[in-house]
């Protein structure tokens, strides 16, 4: 235990050290040193995380929890103390391995991708800060530490998305991501305050083991008096809204595709296993708490499935390769989220929990991390080669970039759920869990989304790598070792990760703390689901090949977004949500609410202040005029004062 405790400190200290050294001590001329230092430190952190996770699963403690270290940090009351520490359980062990491995791969890739940038040391500094923040978040044993690093992750992502601050679009995207996630975080903070006020603790163990039968009394919240159980239900909704915004669920989704304005390594690390997964992680971490409220789980399921379908439909029409992957991420996050929500089952009028949905969701976090990170790195390599994000400028790249071609094929097959690639194992478990819970409409929509996923991913694959070259830079295209090596490295778990780790996830990744009477066992036959899901995915691939991959496909017509019907244009323009958002911000917030606030501040608050200043100023002038030093004036004032006192103040004679 002592050895593991000592090693655990270095998982966080090494990335933080990279942030400090690159940010404070290395100059912009030290590009290579900054890159190699960051790679070495994050590589060492990844090795320690793997060693720590391996020892945890071999210790016999799993799936139990271990607190490797914990120290009191801030006392709000004698019975409410916030602490910082390191919680090690199956969920945090998995997240430690995934985040450090992904970060290590992205740091290697960034050496080649950012070598021409004039602010490379600043980039590696921010990237290391982001890694440190995310690692500290996933091992938090309580809501207090979670929220602290939740916000630090938000700040880090703001710095990375807006890294190229000379570009107005990057600045706008970073502000949009920061503001929208802060909006959601305000509800998260309210939820933390409410739940800690009711149960008197920030600790996850206390939240996940509480019983509603212990909270039958009423509580006065100032404006309303309700039962403690209902107050906890409200708190569960507020906490979920925090994850809703961080994982960019509809309608708070628009910041995530626009975050593509940052460097591609940023898109890769944010959209694979880190920031956007934090919302899903939060729901998984507090799953026993959420499972007390079936209405909250239903909300999670509805938000998740709608986001999954909505984002997949939009991805089918996009031409910007990074935005296709961004909407793909939204859709897959929806998959993870509705899997957690679909665990709620009603049996003979009684609520129960199907734990397979939890295991499948966490499993999909794991598999999705590797192939989505790899696909974003591949997108960066393609953009680096053709100097454009647009599929119009690609085509025929398979002959020039064979390693990238093979890795992309693996990634597309994995995300489509084709066996034996990793995505097949996790997505099918989600579908099975949904069907077992008798959420038939959700199951049908999820199956439909699976087909759409296969279609838009192979649309990207065929348009980028097959057919004729459409780039004017075709003669100069070649693969870079520093950018191709991490792609190949990520292709291995993208191919084998699902098969190798399925049994581990089904055995160890259980929500825990659930009464045995609440656990649901299904009698529905689900053996046909993997075959149906694979068939739907193959149909999507065939449609993509017919439209974009066959030798005589009219690619120019297929990529033309102008000569289309109105419905296609609506989808291509993302149902005009960006325009609606900007109109709402400018017309309602800026010209409406903000204008009213400014008027109130200038004329009411400012007017009161200015009026007070005017009165005090005039009173001062009057006092100053009376201090003339003229003796007759003083005597006259004294006589007048005595007379007034006598006749008006009832002075005794």
Of the pLDDT bands very low, low, confident and very high (cuts 50, 70, 90), residue 333 is: very high
pLDDT at residue 521 above 70? no
Residue 451's pLDDT is 95
Average pLDDT score over residue span 561-570:
81
Could you give the 3-state DSSP secondary structure of residue 80? strand
Distances (CA, A) of 204 to 277, 485, 585: 19, 39, 37
Average confidence (pLDDT) over 288-315: 93
Contact (Cβ atoms closer than 8 angstroms) between residue 110 and residue 265: yes
The two three-digit tokens of residue 649, written as one number: 């103040």
| 152 close to 62: Cβ distance less than 8 angstroms | no
Helix boundaries (H) for 114-167: 120-138, 143-161
Continuous H helices in 247-354: 255-258, 264-270, 278-285, 287-290, 294-315, 321-341
Q: Looking at residue 527, what is its pLDDT?
A: 87
More confident call, 490 vs 479: 490
Residue pair 550/467 in contact by the 8 Å Cβ criterion: no
Q: Report the mean per-residue pLDDT for the chain.
A: 87
Residues 114-129 as b or e (16 or more Cβ within 10 Å = b): beebeebbbbbbbbbb
pTM of the model: 0.88
| pLDDT > 90: percent of the chain | 46
pLDDT band at 346 (very low <50, low <70, confident <90, very high): low
Give the C-alpha separation, 462 to 453, whole Å.
Answer: 14
User: Which pLDDT score, from 0 to 100, does residue 555 have?
Assistant: 76
Distance (Å, rounded) from C-alpha 342 to C-alpha 445?
Answer: 13
DSSP summary character for residue 277: G
Q: Exposure of 260 by Cβ count < 10 A (0-12 exposed, 13-18 middle, 19+ buried)?
A: buried
């Amino acid at each position: 235990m002592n050895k593991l405790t000592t090693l655990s400190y270095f998982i966080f200290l090494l990335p933080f050290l990279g942030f400090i050294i690159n940010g404070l001590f290395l100059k912009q001329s030290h590009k290579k040193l900054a890159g190699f230092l960051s790679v070495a430190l994050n590589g060492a952190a990844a090795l320690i995380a793997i060693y720590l996770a391996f020892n945890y699963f071999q210790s016999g403690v799993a799936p139990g929890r271990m607190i490797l270290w914990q120290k009191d940090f801030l006392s709000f009351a004698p019975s409410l103390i916030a602490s910082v520490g390191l919680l090690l359980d199956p969920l945090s062990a998995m997240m430690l391995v995934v985040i450090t491995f992904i970060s290590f791969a992205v740091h290697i890739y960034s050496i080649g991708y950012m070598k021409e940038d004039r602010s490379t040391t600043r980039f590696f500094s921010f990237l290391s800060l982001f890694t440190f923040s995310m690692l500290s978040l996933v091992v938090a044993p309580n809501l207090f530490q979670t929220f602290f690093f939740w916000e630090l992750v938000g700040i880090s992502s703001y710095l990375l998305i807006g890294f190229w601050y000379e570009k107005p679009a990057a600045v706008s995207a970073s502000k949009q991501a920061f503001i929208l996630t802060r909006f959601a975080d305000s509800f998260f903070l309210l939820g933390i305050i409410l739940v800690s006020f009711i149960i008197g603790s920030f600790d996850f163990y206390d939240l996940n083991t509480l019983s509603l039968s212990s909270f039958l009394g009423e509580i006065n919240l100032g404006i309303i008096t309700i039962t403690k159980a209902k107050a906890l239900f409200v708190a569960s909704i507020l906490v979920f809204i925090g994850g809703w915004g961080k994982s960019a669920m509809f309608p708070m989704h628009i910041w995530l595709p626009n975050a593509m304005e940052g460097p591609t390594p940023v898109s890769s690390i944010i959209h694979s296993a880190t920031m956007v997964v934090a919302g899903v992680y939060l729901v998984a971490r507090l799953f026993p708490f959420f499972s007390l409220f079936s209405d909250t789980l239903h909300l999670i399921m509805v938000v998740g499935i709608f986001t999954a379908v909505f984002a997949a439909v939009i991805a089918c029409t996009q031409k910007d390769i990074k935005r296709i992957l961004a909407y793909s991420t939204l859709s897959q996050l929806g998959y993870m989220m509705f899997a957690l929500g679909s665990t709620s089952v009603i049996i003979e009028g009684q609520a129960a929990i199907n734990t397979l949905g939890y295991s499948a969701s966490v499993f999909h976090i794991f598999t999705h991390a590797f192939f989505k990170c790899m696909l974003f790195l591949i997108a960066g390599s393609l953009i680096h080669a053709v100097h454009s994000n647009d599929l119009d400028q690609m085509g025929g790249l398979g002959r020039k970039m064979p390693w990238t071609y093979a890795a992309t094929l693996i990634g597309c097959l994995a995300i489509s759920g084709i066996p034996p690639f990793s995505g097949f194992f996790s997505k099918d478990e989600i579908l099975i869990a949904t069907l077992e819970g008798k959420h038939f409409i959700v199951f049908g929509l999820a199956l439909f989304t699976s087909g759409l996923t296969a279609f838009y991913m192979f649309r990207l694959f065929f348009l980028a790598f097959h057919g004729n070259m459409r780039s004017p830079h075709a003669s100069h295209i070649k693969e870079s070792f520093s950018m191709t090596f991490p792609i190949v490295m990520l292709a291995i778990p993208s191919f084998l990760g699902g098969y190798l780790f399925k049994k581990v996830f089904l055995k160890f990744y259980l929500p825990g703390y659930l009464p045995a009477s609440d656990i649901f066992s299904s009698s529905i036959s689900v053996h046909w689901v993997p075959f149906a899901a694979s068939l739907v995915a193959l149909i999507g691939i065939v449609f993509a090949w017919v439209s974009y991959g066959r030798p005589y496909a009219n690619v120019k017509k297929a990529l033309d977004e102008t000569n289309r019907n109105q419905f296609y244009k609506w989808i291509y323009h993302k149902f005009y949500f960006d325009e609606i958002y900007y109109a709402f911000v400018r017309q309602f917030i800026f010209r409406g609410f903000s204008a009213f606030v400014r008027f109130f501040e200038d004329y009411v608050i400012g007017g009161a202040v200015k009026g007070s200043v005017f009165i005090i100023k005039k009173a001062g002038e009057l006092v100053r005029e009376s201090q003339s030093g003229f003796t007759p004036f003083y005597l006259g004032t004294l006589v007048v004062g005595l007379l007034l006192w006598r006749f008006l103040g009832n002075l005794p004679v």
